[in-house]
Structure 1
Amino acid sequence: MTGGVIVLGAGPAGRALAHRLLAAAAPVTVVDLNPERVWKSTFACWTDELPGWLADSAFAARLDRVGVAGTALEEVDRGYTVLDTPGLQRSLTLDGAEVVADRVVGIDGARVHLKSGRVLDGDVVVDCRGALPHPAPRQTAYGIVVDAATAAPVLEGHEAMLMDWRGGIVDRRRLPSFLYVVPLGHNEYLLEETCLAGMPALDLDELKRRLATRLGGLPSDIRRVEYVNFPLTGSSPQPWRESTFCFGAAGGFKNPTTGYSVANSLMSVDRVVGALAAGRDPIAEMWPAGVRAVHNLRLRGLSALLRLSPTQTIAFFEAFFAMPVEAQRSYLSRRDDLTGVMAAMTRVIRAVDMRTRVTVARGAMSTPEWAGDVSGTPPLHL
Structure 2
Amino acid sequence: MRGERHDRATRATPDAADVVVVGAGPAAWSVAGHLAGGGADVVLLAPDPAGPWPASYGAWVDELPPDLPASVRAAEMPDAAAIARSRHRLGRTYTMLSTSRLQAHLTDPPVRTVVGTARGTRPGRTDTAVVLADGRSVRGRVVIDASGAQRILTGGRVPTPRAAQTAYGVVVDAALVPDDERAFMDWRDDHGHVGWPTFLYAVPLGDDRLLLEETSLARRPGMPIPELRERLHARMAARGLDPAALTRVEAEADADTGGVERVAFVVDTPLTRGRGRVVPFGAAAPMIHPATGYSLAATLRTAPRLAEAILAHLPGDGADAAAAARRVLWPPGARLVHHLRRRGLEVLLALPPDGVPDFFELFFELPDHHRRAYLSEREDAPAVMGAMAALFAAADGPLRRHLLRWGGMPIGDAPAPDAASRPADGTIVGHE
> How does the TM-score come out when normalised to structure 1?
0.90
| Offset from partner CA, 1:240-296 (integer Å, 9 cap, x none) | 254521110111211000000111100111110110111142112221222111111
- Where does residue 163 of structure 1 map in the other structure? 185
Q: Which has the higher contact order (CA 8 A, sep 6+)?
A: 2
Query: 1:230 aligns to what?
Result: 265
**Structure 2 residue corresponding to 1:183, chosen from 196, 204, 210:** 204
Task: Choose from 345, 348, 353 the match for 1:302.
Answer: 345
Write the distance in 1 (CA, Å) between the matches of 2:289 and 2:275.
19
- Could you tell me whether the CA contact under 8 Å between 1:175 and 1:201 is conserved in 2? no
The 3 A distance-change label for structure 1 pair 19 and 254 is same
Partner amino acid, structure 1, of 2:243? L
| Structure-to-structure mapping, 1:105-184, within 5 angstroms | 105-109=119-123, 110-132=128-150, 133-134=157-158, 135=160, 136-152=162-178, 155-156=179-180, 160-168=182-190, 174-184=195-205
Residue in 1 that maps onto 2:6: none
- Please say if residues 272 and 285 of structure 2, whose CA atoms lie closer than 8 Å, have aligned partners that are also in contact: yes
Contact kept in structure 2, 1:316 and 1:348, CA below 8 Å: no
Change (3 A) 1:226 1:239: same
> Alpha carbons of 1:4 and 1:116: their partners in 2 closer, same or farther (altered >3 Å)?
same
Structure 2 CA distance for aligned equivalents of residues 170 and 365 of structure 1: 34
Find the aligned partners of 1:301 and 1:117 in 2 and give their Cα distance. Answer: 43
Letter in 1 for 2:94: Y
The amino acid that maps onto 2:333 is G
Q: What letter corresponds to residue 240 of structure 1 in structure 2? A: R
Aligned residue number for residue 113 of structure 2: 99
Q: Distance in 2 between matches of 1:59 and 1:284?
A: 31
| Larger displacement relative to structure 2 (240-249 or 291-300) | 240-249
Residues of 2 paired with 1:334 and 1:298: CA distance?
11
Structure number with bigger Rg: 2
Cα deviation code 1:28-84 (max 9, x no counterpart)? 100111112211211001111101111233211133211111111221111211110
For residues 5-84 of structure 1, the aligned pairs below 5 Å read 5-84=19-98
Tell me the secondary structure at the aligned position of residue 123 of structure 1.
strand
2:273 aligns to what SS in structure 1? helix
Match of 1:287 in 2: 330
Task: Output the amino acid matched with 1:184.
Answer: L
Percent identical residues: 37
Residue 192 of structure 1, CA deviation: 0.4
- Separation in 2, partners of 1:168, 1:24: 52
Secondary structure of residue in 2 paired with 1:226: strand
CA distance in 1, matches of 2:304, 2:201: 31
**8 A contact 2:17–2:139 mirrored in 1:** no
- State the alpha-carbon separation in 1 of the partners of residues 105 and 114 from structure 2: 20
RMSD of Structure 2 on Structure 1 (CA)? 2.0
Unaligned runs of 5+ in 1: 372-382
Report what 1:87 is aligned to. Answer: 101
Q: Alpha carbons of 1:258 and 1:44: their partners in 2 closer, same or farther (altered >3 Å)?
A: same
Which range is displaced more, 290-299 or 137-146?
290-299
What amino acid sits opposite 2:146 in the alignment?
Answer: C
Is residue 18–residue 94 contact of structure 1 (8 Å, CA) maintained in 2? no
Q: Could you tell me how far apart the structure 2 residues matched to 1:36 and 1:218 are?
A: 37
Q: CA deviation at 1:94?
A: 4.4
Distance 1:126 1:168, change over 3 A: farther
In structure 1, distance between residues paired with 2:384 and 2:243: 39
Question: How many Å apart are 1:238 and its aligned residue?
Answer: 2.7
Aligned counterpart, 2:372: 329
Deviation at 1:326, TM superposition (A): 1.4
* Aligned counterpart, 2:295: 261
SS at match of 2:95: strand
CA contact (8 A) 1:315 1:352 kept: no
* Matching residue's letter, 1:156: D
Question: 1:215 corresponds to which residue?
Answer: 236
Check the 8 A contact 2:17/2:43 in 1, yes or no.
no
**Structure 2, unaligned stretches of length 5 or more?**
1-15, 151-156, 253-258, 314-320, 415-432
Aligned: 1:312 with 2:355: yes
Match of 2:219 in 1: 198
Q: Deviations over 1:316-359 (max 9, x none)?
A: 11111111221111111111111111111121122222222222
TM-superposed CA distance for 1:151, in Å, is 2.2
Relative to the length of structure 2, the TM-score reads 0.80
Kept in 1, the 8 Å contact 2:149–2:284? The answer is: yes
